[in-house]
Amino acid sequence: MWNRIITLIRKEFQQIRRDRRMRVMVLVAPVLQIILLGYAANMDVFQVPLGVYDLDHGTQSRELVDQFLNSGYFVLAAQARSFDDLDRFFMDGTTEVNLAIPRNFSRDIDSGKGASLQLSADGAVSSSATIALSYASTIVASYGSSGRAGATAPEIRAWYNPELKTRLFMVPGVLALLLMMFTLIFTSLSVVKEKEMGTIEQLIVTPLKSTELIIGKLIPFVLVSLVMAVLVIIAATLVFGIFPRGSIVLLLLLCLVFILSTLGLGLFVSTIAANQQQAMFFSIFFFMFPMTILSGFVFPIENMPAWIQPITYLLPLRYFFVIVRGIYLKGDGMRQLWPQVLALLAIGITVISVSMLRFKKRLD
């Protein structure tokens, strides 16, 4: 039996070796993608374009604006000469946050009378504007109470990500995403391609057993995926200086566990699809797309409505995100991650078993 499995694995590698497109997909594309996405996936509050309508032109107003600009969060994008100007800034997308300082602001502040300010954010752009708004509010509040000590002073420490960089959160996430994409799509295609090319007929007429076929088809992809994972991890380290705080060995081991579940899914797709186009359609729309959005890559699962949450429990990617981010950012080990590992194993074993049962050595 092992003879046949090894023969099959050898054939798969012979095909992979000759497939230039596969080489690009495994070696080049993921590395490019992690670099691209690592740079792009950034929600830090940074250089938010600010629009200012200063009716006061006094010392206090100038100081306030300086506070904004010195915070590092905002850049002065435009000065308004009327309220219409401010509106237009939002309409045209010139600014994301607008500050309107009324006449006599400086005088009222100096005299202790108190003044009012208008602060607005463009909610249409993305939620980053609203975060910027809360930062802006904090700047105003601290400006207002500067020099006077309040009852409490908060000391806030950001753990695991002291500089609050989105990238630290996103890059490990992208690693997980790339792994999923590759394993899911290529596994589903591999078996279906045999169906489409007709070679499956010649294959099932031989003494090769279904389980041997599945194992023989999966093992090459496991190995190739691991190579890809290592490449991406290295790229992330070299380009962004982001490397796992926890054990790399554990990371790779758990990549393996994750891969098993996605390979199982890909296999399952290949048992339902009749040709490659269908296989890709199913993989991408029924698995990849939903998984990307629902597993907590960008959008927190806690925010999702109650009826969606159960669905997320079925997605292997959900658990893997926790694992990857846990190892990268928190240095988590098996002690913290065992629930996720268990879930992944359960999903993987279930899916692979179901696929094995579905896969009969018949044409009908």
Partner 1 sequence: MKSEPAISVQAVEKHFGAFHAVDGVSFSVEKGMVFGLLGANGAGKSTLIRILCGILTPTRGSARVAGFDVNTQTEEVKRTIGYMSQRFSLYEDISVIENIRFFGGMYGLAGASLREAEERVLSLAELAGEENRITGELSGGWRQRLALGCAILHKPSVVFLDEPTGGIDPVARRRFWEIINGLAAEGSTILVTTHYMDEAEFCNSIVLMHAGKIVAQGSPADLKREYMAGPVFEVECDDAPLAIRTLSGLGWVADVSMFGAFLHVNLVEHSDKSLLSAALAAPGIGVHRVEQIRPSLEDVFLHLIEKR
Partner 2 sequence: MQRLVRIKAIIKKEFRQISRDIGTLGTLVILPLALLVLFGYAISLDVKEIRVAVWDLDGTDLSREYQRGFFNSSYFTFQSVIRSSQDRDEALAEGMALAVLTIPPGFARAIDRGETATVQFLVDASNSTTASTAIGYLNGADLAFSLAHARGHAVAPKIDLRPRVVFNQELKSVNSLIPGLIVLILTLAAVVSTALTLVREKEHGTREQLSVSPITPLELVIGKTLPYLMVALVSTTLILSASWLFFGVTVKGSLVLLYLTTILFLFASLGIGILISSIVSTQQAAFMISAILTVLPTFILTGFVFPIRNMPPIIQVISAVLPARYYLAILRTIILKGAGISSIYREILVLSGFAVLMLGLGTFRVSRTRS
Give min distance, CB of 215 to partner 1, in A: 14
Q: Sketch the per residue contact string, 320 through 359, with partner 1: x for CB under 8 A, - otherwise.
A: ----------------------------------------
Residues in binding contact with partner 1, number by CB under 8 A: 28
Q: For residue 172, which of 291, 289, 317, 344 has the smallest C-alpha distance?
A: 317
CB of residue 228 vs partner 2: minimum separation in angstroms?
A: 14
Among 47, 59, 111, 206, interactor with partner 1 by CB under 8 A: 206
The secondary structure of residue 163, as a DSSP letter, is: T
Nearest distance from C-beta of residue 225 to partner 1, angstroms: 21
**Which residues share a beta bridge with 98?**
51, 120
Identify the residue among 63, 66, 110, 201 touching partner 1 (CB under 8 A): 201
Q: Which is nearer to partner 1, 3 or 152 (CB)?
A: 3
20 contacts which partner out of partner 2, partner 1, none, CB within 5 to 8 A by kind?
Answer: none
Could you give the strand order of the β-sheet that contains 74-79, starting from the edge strand earlier in sequence? 74-79, 48-54, 97-101
- Euclidean distance between CA atoms 121 and 59, whole angstroms: 25
Complex with partner 2: residue 114 or 198, whichever CB lies closer: 114
CB of 10 to partner 1, least distance (A): 7
Contact partners, residue 299, CB within 8 Å, separation at least 6: 293
Structure tokens of 205?
């007429």
Q: Tell which one of 8, 26, 31, 45 touches partner 2 (CB under 8 A).
A: 45
8-47: which residues touch partner 1 (CB under 8 A)? Answer: 8, 10-11, 14-15, 18-19
Q: How far is CA 361 from CA 3, 267, 357, in A?
A: 19, 15, 11
Our CB check for partner 1 shows the closer of 5 and 35 to be 5
Around Cβ 46, how many Cβ atoms within 10 Å? 15
Tokens for 157, please give them.
């420490």
User: Does 59 help bind partner 1 (rule: CB under 8 A)?
Assistant: no
- Of 6 and 298, the one with the shorter C-beta distance to partner 1 is 6
Q: Which of 142, 229, 152, 149 is nearest to 183 (CA)?
A: 229
The phi and psi torsions of 74 (rounded to 5 degrees) equal -120, 155
The footprint of partner 2 on residues 176-215 (CB under 8 A) is 177, 185, 189, 193
**Total of chain residues touching partner 2, rule CB under 8 A:** 107
The residues in 103-162 that bind partner 2, with binding defined as CB under 8 A, are: 108-109, 112-131, 133-138, 140-141, 143-145, 148-162
Contacts of 3 (CB under 8 A, 6+ apart): none
| Phi, psi for residue 52 in degrees, rounded to 5 | -125, 130
At 56 the three-state DSSP class reads: coil
Among 16, 41, 69, 354, binds partner 2 (CB under 8 A): 41
With CB under 8 A as the contact rule, the residue among 21, 148, 335, 362 that binds partner 1 is 362
Decide if residue 364 touches partner 1 (CB under 8 A): yes
Which residues face 79 on adjacent strands?
Answer: 52
Q: Is 19 helix (H, G, I), strand (E, B) or coil?
A: coil
Compute the distance between CA of residue 143 and CA of residue 107 in angstroms, rounded to an integer: 15
If one asks whether residue 203 binds partner 1 (CB under 8 A), the answer comes out as yes
- Torsion, Cα of 52, 55, 60, 61 (10° steps): 0
The single residue among 1, 28, 36, 314 that binds partner 2, judged by CB under 8 A, is 36
SS3 label, residue 296: coil
CB nearer to partner 1: pick between 14 and 47: 14
- Pairing outcome for strands 48-54 and 74-79: parallel
Minimum gap (Å) between residue 331 Cβ and partner 2: 8
130 versus 237: smaller Cβ distance to partner 2: 130
By C-beta, is 203 or 354 nearer to partner 1? 203
Q: What angle do CA 25, 26, 27 make, to 5 degrees?
A: 105
Q: Tell me: does residue 208 bind partner 1 (CB under 8 A).
A: yes
Instruction: Return residues touching partner 1 (CB under 8 A).
Output: 3-4, 6-8, 10-11, 14-15, 18-19, 197-209, 361-364
